[in-house]
Structure 1
């Protein structure tokens, strides 16, 4: 076996293969295969129902593992078939490379060297192309920037290239995930879901070639862009409603209140101004009449206004269940004062039959008034305290 076929690290076998999905790329397919074989003989080629000279080319390579699909079902489907087959053969990792000639097989060692140097083997490496290169179509560069932005929004991970098909995947972690897409959007689905379940995702630099005479792209701008947009819309909803709240709650639970105050509140590198605004936002949303949506709204606004998400989320919990009756009572009191309406109720009404719902106008006005007043108060107090704390830290000890 060649030295590059298995990268040995202490206590971990990173036996890998290369998966080549192909569909009607007969002009470049042979060159890609020959290039890959220079680095490893562990090659799985997935013929996604090609109707050109692909079968004749593949007939020359008896040493390859070839999966012939009866009809074209999409790149995502071909990759999923390849992953399943590779895992069944005992491989731990799979490097995927497109057959259209845009990738350079000589960059395979870049992935292997990065994997070997990484302590974390639960990692996806994506080849980062130079999208500013002269021969790269502008629509491809725009599509990549668009995809990078939504990937960051959904996962919090900043990448320079999320669309490159030249990648290294850890097969066992992927085998535990459920995938639903089968076209080009699969390459977005896999890296988002992997990141959500704890897999590290990062870029490595690779070369790129866009030869208009040779390269055949099967990306359909309208259909495939629409599919990707629908997938990203769904992922944004999941991220806002579940993933981001889950991660923040896990972080707070893991650290505990004291450690959170020391590390994320006092020790955080954000300015006192930014922290104070985050406090104000959290308190305002927590006291607002948006019951059931506090977490979603506070995280969304913290992202939009580039505030500290953890601090904003923590202070939005001023309306924890034990405090709800008092928050509602104060809201009605504030509403009565603002509107000049006499209103009284007993806690029996509040807890048993919620009679106060009849006075919704008073409650909404009062809750917004209370939210604004408390947000300004806590925000100003937080700013003063944090400013004094920062000045004290900067004073020389002697």
Structure 2
């Protein structure tokens, strides 16, 4: 099945080269598109210089939601069967693409999420991040009656039907949690597979303890709006 790796990137000149090469080294059969989200550094030049990825540059910084929707539109228009989201900072290990792809190729799931917590791994997160993950796991469980161990993971694979949904609408800003709720409410099957994630190769996370509170409030409201939209769609 034809597979596209979507890498949203904002000022990732320190890691984008190694990320692209690591993906092609472990999975030479996949294609890669880098969505340069208005970077002000040399992300574009370095990604293009690899000769291994197509690069799309957004005219301004549109955020992760807009960048990912652009990637899904690219996947849809070029006829890919599977689209995989991977971060540009080196946290997502391409060695663990295999279980995500198997879940889609076998028809086991419509969307596979790479989870750090299905099995015990070496990954360690901050207290604020762990609290956020537990909160969002609870929020999703009451919204979908289904438990997810790592709802904030951005390492995920989607089949062609999900690609079509996300090319029309992809949650904005902090989209991972809302995307799960949206798919489950639309009747898609979302599952998790155990993966190992690494620390960022360069840069720092934009989510601070203070921003975590804002993050939880904003995502909670977004999930509520998704529940209302999907309920109206079901009635229609």
For Structure 1 versus Structure 2, the TM-score category normalised by the shorter chain is: 0.7 to 0.9
Structure 1 position 182 matched with structure 2 position 169: no
Offset of 1:114 from its aligned partner? 2.4
Instruction: Label 1:180 to 1:97 Cα distance change in 2 as closer, same or farther (>3 A).
Output: closer
Rounded to whole Å, the distance in 2 between the matches of 1:49 and 1:241 is 31
Q: Distance in 1 between matches of 2:22 and 2:230?
A: 44
Secondary structure in 2 matching 1:126: strand
For 2:207, the equivalent position in structure 1 comes to: 219
Give distance in 2, aligned partners of 1:235 and 1:41: 32
Cα displacement (A) at 1:225: 4.6
* Offset at residue 238 of structure 1 (A): 6.4
Contact 1:41 1:64 in 2 (8 A): no
Structure 1 residue matching 2:204: 3-state secondary structure: coil
Aligned length: 228
Check 1:61–1:148 CA distance in 2 against 1; reply closer, same or farther (3 A cut). Answer: same
Task: Give the greater-gyration-radius structure (CA).
Answer: 1
Ranges in structure 1 where 5+ consecutive residues have no aligned partner = 1-5, 7-14, 248-398
TM-score, normalised via structure 2 length: 0.84
> 1:235 corresponds to which residue?
223
- From 64, 87, 91, the counterpart of 1:102: 91
1:54-99, Cα deviation, whole Å (9 max, x unpaired): 1231231334221111221111111011001111000122011111
Whether the aligned pair in 1 keeps the contact of 2:9 and 2:39 (CA below 8 Å) is yes
CA contact (8 A) 1:100 1:216 kept: no
> Which residue does the alignment assign to 1:173?
162
Matching residue of 1:285: none
Q: TM-score normalized by structure 1?
A: 0.52
Cα pair 1:28 1:215 within 8 Å, conserved: no
Q: Does 1:144 align with 2:133?
A: yes
1:46 to 15, 35, 38: 35
Deviation track 1:339-368 (CA, whole Å, cap 9, x = no partner) reads xxxxxxxxxxxxxxxxxxxxxxxxxxxxxx
Residue 222 of structure 1, CA deviation: 4.1
Describe the SS at the equivalent of 2:128: helix
**How many angstroms apart in 1 are the aligned matches of 2:61 and 2:228?**
35
Residue 209 of structure 1 and its aligned partner are, at CA, apart by 1.1
**Contact residue 124 and residue 168 of structure 1 kept, 8 A:** yes
Alignment equivalent of 2:16, drawn from 29, 35, 60: 29
Greater percentage in helix: 1
Aligned residue in 2 for 1:16: 3
Given the superposition, is the C-alpha separation of residues 91 and 179 from structure 1 closer, same or farther in structure 2, using an over 3 Å criterion?
A: same
